[in-house]
Amino acid sequence: MPNPRLDRNCDFLTTDKESYDHFFKIKSIKVIQVSRFRYEDKAERWVYCMQIVDGKKDDLSKGVKL
């Protein structure tokens, strides 16, 4: 069963709290929304959902090294 919180507007799931810095290497991306997606009990950490709010999502495929 698909997760109801995960939809096509979710650009990136990560456990790295600082990974939003990588999005800003792409100059066309201006605003990122970061929210808690779910808590991983076994790893004792949060999974974060990062969404591009203002910018060109297509630019993610331009080979920016993360």
State pLDDT tens for residues 8-36: 556 788 888 777 777 777 788 888 888 89
Q: Which residues contact 23 (CB under 8 A, 6 or more apart)?
A: 12, 29, 32, 50, 52
pTM of the model: 0.63
Distance, in Å, from the CA atom of 38 to the CA atom of 51, rounded to the nearest integer, reads 15
The answer to the question of residue 7 being in a domain is no
Domain coverage including residue 48 = 12-56
pLDDT digits (tens, 9 = 90+) for 36-47: 989 999 999 999
The answer to the question of residue 63 being in a domain is no
Provide the residue type at 63 as one letter: G
The answer to the question of residue 4 being in a domain is no
Structure tokens at 3: 């997760």
Q: How many domains does the chain have?
A: 1
